[in-house]
Amino acid sequence: MGADRYGAGGLDLARQAGVEAFTVPFADYGDRGDWNAALIERLDAYRPDLVVSAGFMRILGAEVLERHTVVNIHPALLPAFPGAHAVRDALAYGVAITGATVHFADSGVDTGPVIDQVAVRVDPRDDTASLHERIKSVERRMLVEVVGRLAREGWSVQGRQVRLGGSGTRQTPSTEYVAEENR
C-alpha cells in the first residue's frame, strides 16, 4: 500500500492487516518529475500487475503510466464531472443521478477507458458531504469487485472499450451493491 502523504488513513489500516506500506510524499521532491521517478522506484520494487488508485489525489506522470497499469475510482459517472470536485459539481449542475466510475488511468484527468460504472440517485436533501458518503459506500464495494475480476479474469482494451475475461465479451457487472444503495 502506498501513499503520497504521511498520515493517510490507509497506511495504518494496511499495517494493521500485515500489508507492507510506503509513503512517497509529494512535498519532499523539488518537482513533479522527481516525485514520479521516486514513485516508480517504489512501485517497481513490488512488480505489481495493477496499481489501484483510491483516494490518491495526484495526477500521475506519463512515465508512471507507461510502466504501470493504473486503475482509478472516481465519484461521478465519467465523462461527466471529472476532477477533484466531482460531487460538488454534480450537485451544482442539478443532476438527478450521479455515481461512481472505475477506469484505467491515462495522461488526462479522469479520461481513461471506463471499466465499470454504478449510478447513485441524488436525494433532494443531499449536500456534498452526504452525497459523497453514499457514493463512497458504492465505490468501496465496486472497486473490490472490479479489481477482483481484473485479477481473476484478465482484461483487454481496444480503443475505449474494456473487456474483462478471455472471451472478449463484456460480462454484466454485479448489481448487488447498486440495489442496496438506491433504495
Q: What are the catalytic residues?
A: 74
CB 86 within 8 A of CB 78: no
Dihedral sign, CA of 84, 98, 108, 112? positive
Those residues whose C-beta lies under 8 Å from the C-beta of residue 130, and which sit 6 or more positions away, are: 123
Angstrom CA distances, 53 to 69, 120, 137, 171, stand at: 10, 21, 16, 23
